[in-house]
Structure 1
Amino acid sequence: MLIIGELINTSRKVVKPAVEQRDAVFIQELAKKQVESGAHYVDVNCGTMVHDEVETMEWLVRTIQEAVSAPLCIDTPRTEAMEAGLAAVKNGQPMVNSITAEKERYVAVLPLVLKYKAKVIALCMDDTGVPTSAEQRITIVKKLVGDLTAAGVPEDDIYLDPLVTPISTGDNCGNDVLDTVRFIRKEFPLVHAACGLSNVSYGLPNRKILNQAFMIQTMDAGMDAYILDPLDKAMMGFVYASQALLGQDSFCVQYLTAHRKGLYD
């Protein structure tokens, strides 16, 4: 299971001013807390810094790497900022968030994935827009895996994101994701499946409960990577418990370690 810590994002009210003021201590502490809480990757997103995203991305990557040895996930729609972040990475294998099957995006991002030998999150979206069924997602999955592997990206470096959409907008939104993940796990066993969870509950009350339940369902279907808040003790508790119950935690070592650290107090 791969956990990508989502908290260093300038769209968050507490993060943007810290980045604007180049508060390295704040950013480094946030990175440390995420890694200490179980994040394997730290996501770096400064997309709201419209006028100086490239410089900000470089600063963030350098600053975070001074504090943690965990690898980074470079998260931006701008290829200039993506390359700046990737070029500054020193720790481990970076991850790119994200590529899609949209022609313009694919052509722009693929060379960076190959140049920096990065893992890549591949969104199940093409030039027709966001898919509205499992069948459409599966068609895009086949294309992405075929194109990426033909270009030289190892299957183990591909993380397919089936695009979680709010269940408040359609009764099958949750099932479409689950069916897509099951297809990925069956047809491409070496390829990974990744997602953020919060969209599933958009517009509904008790969002954390829905997110937690959906995490358990998607993990059972074969999801093996999540972009989430690792400081959310309840969510991380369900991650470790689910892994143990699904036989993904040999002799329940991770679950017992989490228990001894007080995660379930």
Structure 2
Amino acid sequence: MLIVGELINTSRKPIKEAVENRDAAYIREIARRQAEAGAHYIDVNCGTLVRNEPEVMAWLVELVKEAVDLPVCIDSPNPRALEVGLELAADRGQPMVNSITAESERFNTVLPLVLKYKARVVALLMDDSGMPDTAEQRIAIVRKLVGDLTRSGVPEDDIYIDPLVKPVSTSDSAGVEVLETLRFIRKEYSAVHTICGLSNISYGLPNRPVLNQVFLIQTMAAGMDAYILDPLDRTLMGFYYASQALLGKDPYCSEYLKAHRSGLYRKD
């Protein structure tokens, strides 16, 4: 299982303000806290800063490298910002690219970067026809993306399919379609990984953490093996470790026991 810490993102007001004020100490602290909470990768996303995104990306990645000894997930719609981040992150273990799609222009632009830096890659289920609604539409894109990536030299083990989680507030079947897609991937592509931005499922609804927590458990049971999430959410991380143990993915319950000893399940 893989956790990508999502908090260094300029769409979040505290991070945007820290970037504007060049508050390096705050950025380093957020990176450090995510690492201590169990993140395996630190995501860096400054895509809202269109005017100077490559410059900000470089600054953020350098700060993350100063704070933690973890690989970095470079998250941007801008190929130039992706390359700047990947070049700097390449000396901290295998980097991750977020993301490639089956859209022709995006695929052809991002693929050379994935190959050049031997990166893991989040493959988002979108193509030139837009965003899929049904599991069948998602599955067709899975087949195309996995086929095109592997034929280009990307190992299946480096591919992380993002099934495109949509808010259940906009479609009653949004969660079900994702679960069906996950089951297909686990059956047909056992070496390929799956990942998602968990909180998308609850957008627009009250009590969002409850929906996120339940969807975490449901998707883990369906085969999801990586998440982009807030590792500082103690309850969510508690469910993550408990689910791993119950699904037989935590030998001797070692990670669950470690989380228990750290005080994760203690009620404050």
Q: How far apart are residue 256 of structure 1 and its match?
A: 0.6
Question: What displacement does 1:171 show?
Answer: 1.9
Number of residues of Structure 1 aligned to a counterpart in Structure 2: 265
2: CA distance between counterparts of 1:50 and 1:262?
Answer: 41
2:72 is the counterpart of 1:72: yes
Q: Percent identity?
A: 68
Output the amino acid matched with 2:87: A
Partner Cα distance (1:188, 1:210) in 2? 28
For residues 66 and 166 of structure 2, what CA distance do their matches in structure 1 show? 36
TM-score by length of 1: 0.99
Question: Which amino acid in structure 2 is aligned with residue 103 of structure 1?
Answer: S
The answer for the alignment partner of 1:105 in structure 2 is 106
Give the structure-2-normalised TM-score: 0.98
Q: How far does residue 173 in structure 1 lie from its aligned partner after superposition?
A: 1.1
2:167 and 2:222 map into 1 onto residues whose CA distance is: 18
Q: Distance in 1 between matches of 2:57 and 2:195?
A: 23
What residue in structure 1 maps to residue 156 of structure 2? 155
Could you say what secondary structure the match of 1:141 adopts?
A: helix
2:13 partner letter:
K
Structure 2 residues without counterparts, runs of 5 or longer? none
Counterparts of residues 47-126 of structure 1 (less than 5 Å): 47-89=47-89, 90-126=91-127
Equivalent residue, structure 2, for 1:37: 37
Which residue number in structure 2 is paired with residue 143 of structure 1?
A: 144
RMSD, matched Cα: 0.7
Q: Secondary structure at the match of 2:7?
A: coil
For the residues of structure 1 that align with 2:113 and 2:263, how far apart are their CA atoms? 41
Q: Measure how far apart 1:21 and its partner are.
A: 2.1
- For 1:12-31, list aligned pairs within 5 A: 12-31=12-31
SS of the aligned residue for 1:243 comes to helix
Instruction: Please give the alpha-carbon distance, in whole angstroms, between the structure 1 residues aligned to 2:64 and 2:16.
Output: 15
Matches within 5 A, 1:4-15: 4-15=4-15
Q: Deviation per CA, 1:11-59, whole angstroms, max 9, x where unpaired?
A: 1111111112222111111100000000000000011112111111011
Matched, 1:175 2:176: yes
Amino acid at match of 1:44: V
- 1:84-120 Cα distance to aligned partner (Å, 9 max, x none): 1011112000000000000010000000000000000
Residue 249 of structure 2: SS of its match in structure 1? coil
SS, match of residue 189 in structure 1? coil
Instruction: Give SS of 1:42's match.
Output: strand
Question: Partner residue of 1:200?
Answer: 201
SS state of the match for residue 121, structure 2? strand
| Alpha-carbon distance between aligned partners in 2 of 1:76 and 1:29, rounded to the nearest angstrom | 22
CA shift at 1:62, angstroms? Answer: 1.1
AA aligned opposite 2:155? P
SS of alignment partner, residue 122 of structure 1: strand
Give the match for residue 224 of structure 1.
225
* Mapped partners of 1:18, 1:205: distance in 2: 28
Code of the aligned partner of 1:125: M
CA offset digits 1:121-174 (Å, max 9, x no partner): 000000111101000000000000000000000000000000001112222111
